[in-house]
Structure 1
């Protein structure tokens, strides 16, 4: 059985005894300088857990350093992306629960007991949600993350927090139902959270203090991140609730078309009777086309989330 919806998980009683086995999956690319310390800190918190480092074809000694620190290592023969490494980790994990962490050392392992306690209490996924002030290393990124949270909440009709956080635990059997939806590069955190909520699974959130990177960002990187956020937004809309976006757009175009028509009848060209100007006609036709596309996209999206019979 699973719970539906989301909830903010308050401070749980911290314990290292859980009614499930755990695999900590750490996707890594060129992290030889710090991966051993990350593995050691995780091992200190979860001495009995499997620690699986997925080396995404690093050009340095990331895999060797992780193995020397006591982790099991799976290596990609070619660089496939962070999301692909996460998918490999989920598929190759032996634990009933998968805990995802980044390899850069910015995710504090002290929150692991709270996150896993949420799974023990019945959630199917628990996300380490950073506070607003630590969701990104600059104002633009923090505003972008907030916009994603707002859009995600609207699409799945329930509150979500910190959709871009990669610090999360999930039941492996549940995540395998949706693993084909995860992209190979970025936005797997956003996709996984919304996919489970759309599928009716329980998702909880633990408030954590994220560690911010130092230094500024170049204009080029800001532009790249802006494009990435735009693609994530389009992906979210197309995957999870297209009609909740298409319908308001279609309705707005219809209202504009009706306004144009009425202005033409009563103010601009009253002598022409019920004549429909080209602008209104285009808006009417456009609203119908967008609405029909929205219906089609909604049906396709629904097919992705049809439950498989056990």
Structure 2
């Protein structure tokens, strides 16, 4: 049974071939967390791309020990946005999934994202604030900021998002041609993609996602400066 028939039984036309799937994982000094992430990817993923942000630990070696066929690429500029763009450019799949390397996002949710794409969505984003979602890794002031950004985007661009500043997403490769991401070097790329998907008229679906705390290390997210970049992006 192929990956599509596993996700959407009875929904595959005769002669329809499964799309290839690439997963992009930006990582900087995540050697301790990668075993909790890479080992949980579904076996039918066609390609995993690790974007190494000049790690000074064993991030690359650990990744290759878990997935010998993993593709490792670098990034031309600093920041999560720059890392994701490098991963997108290096990917070959018909579908691209973006997921963090810190263990906060569950790879077991990937089928839900792929299933939504196979049933008509162009762009699928995770939500920690719809029924079935949740987070154990967000302080009250970040929750308040996210709520404010959601209301601002709804007022300015429409849509019906329940979450905005969350980077677990999946989309058809063709969707990239409708998004302009060259100026989004930092964490604001997640918001930029969500807003531009609305502007471009893409069919966007949200799926519930459970966010866990980072397993090891400290996040590179800076609440006030990165929040300001998100505001300016909107």
TM range (shorter): 0.7 to 0.9
1:106 Cα deviation after fit: 1.1
Q: Which of 82, 85, 89 is matched with 2:83 structurally?
A: 85
Using CA pairs below 8 Å that are at least 6 residues apart, which structure has the higher relative contact order?
2
Of the structure 1 ranges 101-110 and 28-37, higher mean CA displacement relative to structure 2 is found in: 28-37
Q: What's 1:30 paired with?
A: 29
1:58 Cα deviation after fit: 0.9
Aligned in 2, Cα 1:208/1:152: closer, same or farther, shift over 3 Å? same
**Structure 2 Cα separation of the partners of residues 170 and 48 of structure 1:** 14
Aligned in 2, Cα 1:79/1:174: closer, same or farther, shift over 3 Å? closer
Q: What's 1:146 paired with?
A: 147
Q: What's 1:158 paired with?
A: 159
Superposition RMSD in Å = 2.6
Aligned in 2, Cα 1:75/1:14: closer, same or farther, shift over 3 Å? same
**Structure 2 Cα separation of the partners of residues 47 and 158 of structure 1:** 32
**Structure 1 Cα separation of the partners of residues 195 and 89 of structure 2:** 20
Runs of 4+ in 1 over 4 A off after TM superposition: none
**Structure 1 Cα separation of the partners of residues 19 and 180 of structure 2:** 21
Partner secondary structure for residue 180 of structure 1:
coil
1:210 Cα deviation after fit: 1.7
**Structure 2 Cα separation of the partners of residues 159 and 55 of structure 1:** 34
**Structure 2 Cα separation of the partners of residues 193 and 83 of structure 1:** 13
Q: What's 2:230 paired with?
A: 232
Partner secondary structure for residue 44 of structure 2:
coil
Query: TM-score when scaled to structure 1?
Result: 0.63
Aligned in 2, Cα 1:39/1:168: closer, same or farther, shift over 3 Å? same
Matches within 5 A, 1:125-274: 125-131=123-129, 134=135, 136-181=137-182, 183-212=184-213, 224-236=222-234
- Write the deviation string for residues 55-99 of structure 1: whole angstroms up to 9, x where unpaired: 0111112112112211221123x6611111100111110101100
1:226 Cα deviation after fit: 2.4
Q: What's 1:282 paired with?
A: none
Which structure dedicates a bigger proportion of its chain to helix?
A: 1
Q: What's 2:109 paired with?
A: 111
**Structure 2 Cα separation of the partners of residues 213 and 63 of structure 1:** 19
Query: TM-score when scaled to structure 2?
Result: 0.83
**Structure 2 Cα separation of the partners of residues 170 and 24 of structure 1:** 11
Q: What's 1:99 paired with?
A: 97
- Structure 2 unaligned regions, length at least 5: 10-16
1:135 Cα deviation after fit: 7.3
